[in-house]
Amino acid sequence: MSNGDDASGWSEGRGPGEGLGSAQGLGSAQGRGPADSDPTADIGIGVDRSAPGVSRRRLFAWSASSAAGIVLLTAAEPAQAIGGASGAGHGAARSASRQTAARPAGASRQTAAHSADASQQTAAHSAGASQQTVGRSSAARGSTVAASTPVTTQAPPAPRAPAYRIHDLRPDAPADSIALTIDDGPHPVWTPRILEVLRANRVTATFSVVGAQAVANPELVRRIVADGHSLCNHTMTHPQPFSRRTPDQIRVEMTRAQSAIVDAGAEPPRLFRAPGGDWSPAVLAAATGLGMTSLGWDVDPRDWARPGTASIRQSLGRARPGDILLCHDGGGDRAQTVAALRRVLPLLRARGLSFVPL
């Protein structure tokens, strides 16, 4: 309810005194004196004007009760007229009192209802404003937290040093195991011959494949895998010195070789060997970033230089458990390598060493 719709009558411009003056008989008593009007006009209600002995000049005493608003009219004589006038006055006063009491009571109830309604509206408005304020504050806090929370990105894996021993790669490998690695192929002449020697001695090895050779000899890549050997990425073109390439060139060499090996029908290798063992932080980081482990060696008979079959055989024959051996099936004439392997592999097995692929 708005402030201009009060049903008690306060909105019509009347004050409390004017509201109470609506009762009969009280308006003349409170608002006008004997000089303003004929006093008999107000007390003549219920009086027999033909009764004898009633004089207009009689002096009347007026008594007003401020508490109840009741006007008591008293005259000296005649007694009957006084009694009738008094009864009429009392009746009018009681009627006025009831009306007066009813009006303030109704007004009070309406005012109380209005006040309660206004309080509810104010409380609702305050609650809504508080909720909006809290909402805005929460949103502001959320924005502040979101703005102040640093965005973290996953750091690239730390480059790992090349593995030079079997147990660096395979902690579960047998204690008496050694690993043979064959690099730079596949070659259409020397790779099939080496595969025959390995099969005859029940040896499994790891072939470090050059991508260009995989493109040229995909059937040999598949044969290597079919014989139970594992593969290692050995770059696309075997450039040297490899560590002097830019990081982009290093990565391209790796990724192109990986694609060539997969296109030949093999799974992507999880190992990488740098040409010539030429490692650098950029090379290690690139291999690690592509999910590959860098693979080194610790026994190098230098067969790539063709030092002679005996030299190659003697170097390989000194292998100890945990060693990773290096040989080649590509990059030139590998007849010495084939002959040395044919002699040394049975000797190593006779010493109780077992060959494991990496």
Question: Which contacts qualify for 95-101: CB closer than 8 Å, 24 or more apart?
Answer: 95/23, 95/24, 96/23, 96/24, 96/25, 96/26, 96/69, 97/23, 97/68, 97/69, 97/70, 99/22, 99/23, 100/20, 100/23, 100/26, 100/69
What's the pTM value of the predicted model, to 2 decimals?
0.59
**Separation between Cα atoms, residue 64 and residue 9, nearest integer Å:** 26
Q: Is 125 a catalytic residue?
A: no
CATH 1.20.120.1760 fits 166-355, yes or no: no
The active-site residue, picked from 183, 184, 323, 329, is 183
Q: What region, left, alpha or beta, does residue 73 occupy, with left being phi > 0 and alpha being psi -120 to 50 degrees?
A: beta
227 burial level (CB within 10 Å; 0-12, 13-18, 19+): middle
pLDDT of 152 reads: 53
How high is the pLDDT of residue 156?
61
Catalytic residue, candidates 229, 234, 238, 328: 328
Nearest CA-CA partner of 278 in 304, 251, 241 = 241
Spell out the residues 6+ positions from residue 309 whose beta carbon is closer than 8 angstroms to its own. Answer: 336, 339, 340, 343
User: Mean pLDDT of residues grouped by 10 in the chain (358 residues)?
Assistant: 37 36 35 38 37 40 39 36 39 40 41 43 43 43 44 64 95 96 98 98 98 98 98 98 98 98 98 97 97 98 98 98 98 98 98 96
Q: Domain-by-domain residue ranges, the chain?
A: 10-47+57-144, 166-355
Catalytic status, residue 183? yes
Q: By C-alpha distance, which of 59, 81, 85 is closest to 72?
A: 85
Measuring CA to CA, which residue among 161, 166, 220 is closest to residue 193? 220
Residue type for 102, please? A
| Beta-carbon-side half-sphere exposure of residue 101 (alpha carbons within 13 Å) | 10
**3-state helix/strand/coil string of 40-77:** HHHHCCCCCCCCCCCCCCCCCEEEECCCCCCEEEECCC
What is the reported pLDDT for 295? 98
Longest dimension (CA), the chain: 172
**The predicted structure's pLDDT at residue 160:** 80
Q: What region does 186 belong to: left with phi over 0, alpha with psi -120 to 50, or beta?
A: beta
Residues 283, 274: Cα–Cα separation, whole Å: 8
Q: What pLDDT score was predicted for residue 75? A: 36
CA 255 – CA 233 distance, rounded (Å): 9
Partnered with residue 71 across adjacent β-strands are 64
- Distance between CA atoms of 315 and 302, rounded to whole angstroms? 9
The pLDDT of residue 304: 96
